[in-house]
């Protein structure tokens, strides 16, 4: 077996760098910052959410005193009425993590209806997954059609439905469309030619 070479070391180092740079783009958000999930945070929860961009696979971390509060994922109607009776999901261990599995709005309230009424609630809009766009001629605008009452207000109708705004494209640390892995392969080839 041949001893390790400089080229082999460089190949390994660049591969590790490429793996780190191109790793998951999911983020963990700490709801309420240092305050956590509390009745009177230093910044309103919805103001905090408006300052951030949430995407599919991101997570929310809720920190609160175990046994004195909880976090409920609820419907839009239950959010605005602070109804704690019909949660979709209940988080109650004091250090709860919620992962976004799809785009759209998510509604969180305190498990204590009184705390919810005082503002301990949060709306997060998760941005749609953005795929690589291909340049193509833009399609002709569809001809408007009459809406039936059954599908008015549905995503298909476009009436009363606001689609999430897509996230801006994330650029790599090396700029543009060159991926870290491709750059690593090119650099390894370059160094191997000189060794």
**For residues 92 and 28, what is the distance between their CA atoms, to the nearest angstrom?**
18
- Distance, in Å, from the CA atom of 44 to the CA atom of 121, rounded to the nearest integer, reads 9
| Residue pLDDT, tens place only, 166-181 | 444 443 333 333 344 4
In this predicted structure, the answer to whether residue 150 has a pLDDT above a threshold of 50 is no
Residue 177 neighbours by CB under 8 Å, 6+ apart = none
Q: Is the pLDDT of residue 28 over 80?
A: yes
What confidence score (pLDDT) does residue 130 get? Answer: 73
Q: What is the pLDDT of residues 69-106, one digit of tens each?
A: 999 999 999 999 999 999 999 999 999 999 999 999 99
Q: What is the mean pLDDT of the chain?
A: 72
What is the model's pLDDT at position 37? Answer: 97
Report how far residue 6's alpha carbon sits from residue 195's, in angstroms, rounded to the nearest whole number. Answer: 8
CATH 2.40.40.20 correct for 25-126: no
Average pLDDT over residues 4-31: 58
| 6-21 helix and 180-194 helix, angle to the nearest 10 degrees | 170
d(CA 72, CA 90): 5
- Compute the distance between CA of residue 49 and CA of residue 125 in angstroms, rounded to an integer: 8
In the three-class reduction of DSSP (H, G, I as helix; E, B as strand; rest coil), residue 124 is classed as strand
Name the phi and psi angles at 123, rounded to 5: -115, 130
In angstroms, what CA-CA distances link 138 with 101, 133, 134, 141, 142? 30, 12, 11, 9, 12
Whether 84 contacts 109, CB under 8 Å: yes
The pLDDT confidence band at residue 6, using thresholds 50, 70 and 90, is low
> Position of tokens 């041949």?
2
Rounded to whole angstroms, how far apart are CA atoms 96 and 60? Answer: 8
Domain boundaries, the chain: 25-126
Q: Which pLDDT score is estimated for 132? A: 60
């Amino acid at each position: 077996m041949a001893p390790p070479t400089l080229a082999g070391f460089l190949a390994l180092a660049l591969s590790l760098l490429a793996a780190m740079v191109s790793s998951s783009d999911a983020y963990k958000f700490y709801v309420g910052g240092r305050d956590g999930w509390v009745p009177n945070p230093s910044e309103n929860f919805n103001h905090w959410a408006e300052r951030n961009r949430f995407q599919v696979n991101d997570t929310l971390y809720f920190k609160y005193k175990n046994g004195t509060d909880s976090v409920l994922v609820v419907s839009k109607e239950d959010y605005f009425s602070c109804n704690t009776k019909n949660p979709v999901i209940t988080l109650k261990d004091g250090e709860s993590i919620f992962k976004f599995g799809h785009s759209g709005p998510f509604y969180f309230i305190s498990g204590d209806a009184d705390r919810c009424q005082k503002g301990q609630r949060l709306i997060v809009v998760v941005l749609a997954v953005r795929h690589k766009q291909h340049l193509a001629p833009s399609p002709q605008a569809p001809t408007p059609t009459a809406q039936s009452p059954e599908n008015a207000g549905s995503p298909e109708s476009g009436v009363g439905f606001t689609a999430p705004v897509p996230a801006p494209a994330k650029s790599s640390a090396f700029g543009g469309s060159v991926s870290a892995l491709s750059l690593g392969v090119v650099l390894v080839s370059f160094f191997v030619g000189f060794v």
